[in-house]
């Protein structure tokens, strides 16, 4: 069996791992990157998650009512595949061009501390390293429901290539992934029903924000059944019957396809982590400290597999933490993260940073709050120009310091506006300065002038 010794071994092509491998290789360290699927060069984001799904959302938004749903969806999927193919090839080239980086196709399994066996067909290779970085990510988790492995039941990856296009789609799960796909497929032309176990959508969000999200999707044609769970998926080819349970409408649903948007699980089952001395938590995620060190000496975990926030930009920051440990002064940690924003690409986008009013109330903080429907913000005509006036904008501000503590931005361009607000929070820019800022017109940013003028004590 061939053997390879390197300074750093990266298992998985995710954002954190690939960026770390490139940086270390250019710094003169010998690096090996192992990936089990040649369809995942570059990681989940560019292949099955962030980029392809947003490309589909974009194309769905452009469809007119008279456009044939099947034809429009097929064209959108082809464009999606062309885009991911180009990005995948470029990501592969970016590492292949670094002389100190060795790219290995195959499945890695630990055979000892900082040593793995990589299998590709009948070929095997032993790779050992001074440092190992685990970057294997997560995958969709199917619910423990009879029939969940049936031919008409999909997850967020496989539904992107569903065929034929489902005229009726049932989405199991009212979280952000389920909502993103519900809105997307409704705009593509599906009759979409969302089964949500809770009494309302998004219980961690303020009630007015959750209601605004639901209304925007209802206006798109999505139907919601709250307090309802799927108990079985019965194959009734060419359709599937979704058996349900709940205090509300208990009528079973017949659909052409079902999306199970019921969470994700770490990709660790085949790694044999115990052979490396790497501990996992009760959910299977790799346990790390604030330097992203695992329980095994010289082994780090970056990206979704370490149980942190599952965002590509968090994985990117993970690479900075490990890079600091390996070739820097070791001072960077996950504790350095302040005002980390997030966006869900429903239509319009829903973005949040910091705390919301509900969280401020639960914490007993003395704050000022404001919230205004987008349609009522006179100083922000852009939503009317682009014909998307759903949503609301809200802020939470410290009553004494005027510090911005959080924002809920459900509006056109929210994915950009939230970055401005997050930067203001990190830099200590007060709510008053944002309120009195001079912003371009017509833009979404100028909503700050009007919305922040309405701050009031939290009731």
- pLDDT tens profile 191-248: 999 999 999 999 999 999 999 999 999 999 999 999 999 999 999 999 999 999 988 6
The stretch 15-20 carries a mean pLDDT of: 97
In the predicted model, is pLDDT for residue 255 greater than 90? yes
User: CATH topology of 2-140+265-336 equal to that of 153-262?
Assistant: yes
| Class of residue 161 by CB neighbours under 10 A (exposed 0-12, middle 13-18, buried 19+) | exposed
Write down the pLDDT at residue 406. 98
Q: For domain 153-262, which architecture applies? A: 3-Layer(bba) Sandwich (3.50)
Q: DSSP assignment, residue 339?
A: S
Residue 28, number of CB atoms within 10 A of its CB: 10
Q: Are 107 and 120 in contact (CB under 8 A)?
A: yes
Q: Are 224 and 214 in contact (CB under 8 A)?
A: yes
With left for phi above 0 and alpha for psi between -120 and 50, is residue 344 left, alpha or beta?
beta
Q: What is the pLDDT of residues 403-440, one digit of tens each?
A: 999 999 999 999 999 999 999 999 999 999 999 999 99
pLDDT classification of 459: cutoffs 50, 70, 90: confident
Write down the pLDDT at residue 181. 98
pLDDT classification of 250: cutoffs 50, 70, 90: confident
What percent of the chain stands above pLDDT 90? 98
Write down the pLDDT at residue 247. 80
Q: DSSP assignment, residue 237?
A: T
Give the Cα separation of 61 and 348 in Å (integer): 10
For residue 245, what are its two tokens? 């349970």
Q: For domain 2-140+265-336, which architecture applies? A: 3-Layer(bba) Sandwich (3.50)
In the predicted model, is pLDDT for residue 348 greater than 80? yes
Write down the pLDDT at residue 400. 97
Kind and range of the H or E element at 14? none
In the predicted model, is pLDDT for residue 44 greater than 90? yes
The stretch 7-18 carries a mean pLDDT of: 97
Q: How far is CA 9 from the centre of its chain?
A: 26
Q: What is the SS3 assignment for 13-29?
A: CCHHHHHHHHHHHHCCC
The stretch 382-398 carries a mean pLDDT of: 97
Question: Average pLDDT of the chain?
Answer: 97
Write down the pLDDT at residue 1. 81
Q: In terms of DSSP bridges, do strands 367-373 and 456-457 run parallel, antiparallel, or are they unpaired?
A: antiparallel
pLDDT classification of 175: cutoffs 50, 70, 90: very high
The stretch 311-331 carries a mean pLDDT of: 98
For residue 415, what are its two tokens? 């994915």
The stretch 287-307 carries a mean pLDDT of: 98
Cα separations (Å) of 342 from 89, 176, 184?
28, 11, 19
CATH class of the structural domain 342-457: alpha beta
The residues annotated with a catalytic role in the active site are 441
Give the Cα separation of 123 and 2 in Å (integer): 9
Q: Are 34 and 14 in contact (CB under 8 A)?
A: no
Cis omega (within 30 of 0) for bond into 164? yes
Cis omega (within 30 of 0) for bond into 328? no
The stretch 130-139 carries a mean pLDDT of: 98
The stretch 10-16 carries a mean pLDDT of: 96
Give the Cα separation of 31 and 52 in Å (integer): 29
**What is this structure's pTM?**
0.96
What percent of the chain stands above pLDDT 70? 100
Write down the pLDDT at residue 137. 97
Give the Cα separation of 129 and 8 in Å (integer): 5
For residue 20, what are its two tokens? 């770390």
Q: Domain coordinates of the chain in residue numbers?
A: 2-140+265-336, 153-262, 342-457
Give the Cα separation of 224 and 172 in Å (integer): 10
Partners of residue 264 on adjacent β-strands: 140
In the predicted model, is pLDDT for residue 103 greater than 80? yes
Partners of residue 132 on adjacent β-strands: 9, 299
Give the Cα separation of 28 and 161 in Å (integer): 41
The stretch 3-18 carries a mean pLDDT of: 97
């Amino acid at each position: 069996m061939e053997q390879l010794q390197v300074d750093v071994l990266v298992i998985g092509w995710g954002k954190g791992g690939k960026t770390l491998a490139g940086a270390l290789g250019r710094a003169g360290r010998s690096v090996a990157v192992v990936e089990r699927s040649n369809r995942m060069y570059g990681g989940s984001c560019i292949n099955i998650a962030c980029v392809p799904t947003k490309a589909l959302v974009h194309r769905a938004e452009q469809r007119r009512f008279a456009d044939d749903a099947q034809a429009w969806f097929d064209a959108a999927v082809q464009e999606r595949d062309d885009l991911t193919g180009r990005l995948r090839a470029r990501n592969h080239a970016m590492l292949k061009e670094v002389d100190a980086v060795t790219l290995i196709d195959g499945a890695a399994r630990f055979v000892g501390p900082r040593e793995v066996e990589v299998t590709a067909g009948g070929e095997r290779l032993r790779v050992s390293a001074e440092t190992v970085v685990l970057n294997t990510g997560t995958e969709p988790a199917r619910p423990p429901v009879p029939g969940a492995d049936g031919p008409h039941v999909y997850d967020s990856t496989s539904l992107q290539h569903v065929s034929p296009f489902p005229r009726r789609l049932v989405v199991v799960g009212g979280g952000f992934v389920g909502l993103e796909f519900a809105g997307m497929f409704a705009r593509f032309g599906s009759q979409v029903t969302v089964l949500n176990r809770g009494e309302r959508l998004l219980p961690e969000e303020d009630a007015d924000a959750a209601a605004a999200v639901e209304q925007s999707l209802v206006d798109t044609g999505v139907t919601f059944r709250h307090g309802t769970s799927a108990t079985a998926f019965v194959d009734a080819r060419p359709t599937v019957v979704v058996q349900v349970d709940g205090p509300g409408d208990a009528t079973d649903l017949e659909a052409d396809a079902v999306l199970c948007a019921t969470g994700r699980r770490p990709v660790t089952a085949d790694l044999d982590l115990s052979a490396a001395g790497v501990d996992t938590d009760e959910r299977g995620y790799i346990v790390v400290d604030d330097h992203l060190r695992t329980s095994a000496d010289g082994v780090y975990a970056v990206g979704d597999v370490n149980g942190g926030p599952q965002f590509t930009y968090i994985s990117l920051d993970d690479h900075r933490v490990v890079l600091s440990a390996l070739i820097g002064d070791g001072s960077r940690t996950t504790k350095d993260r302040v005002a980390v924003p997030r966006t869900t690409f429903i239509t319009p986008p829903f973005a949040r940073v910091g705390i919301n009013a509900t969280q401020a109330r639960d914490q007993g903080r003395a704050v000022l709050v404001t919230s205004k429907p987008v349609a009522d913000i006179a100083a922000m005509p852009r939503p009317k120009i682009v014909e998307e006036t759903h949503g609301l904008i809200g802020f939470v501000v410290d009553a004494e310091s005027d510090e911005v503590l959080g924002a809920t931005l459900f509006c056109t361009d929210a994915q950009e506006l939230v970055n401005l607000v997050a930067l203001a929070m990190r830099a200590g820019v007060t709510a008053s300065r944002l309120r009195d800022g001079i912003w371009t017109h017509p833009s979404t940013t100028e909503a700050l002038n009007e919305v922040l003028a309405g701050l009031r004590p939290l009731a």
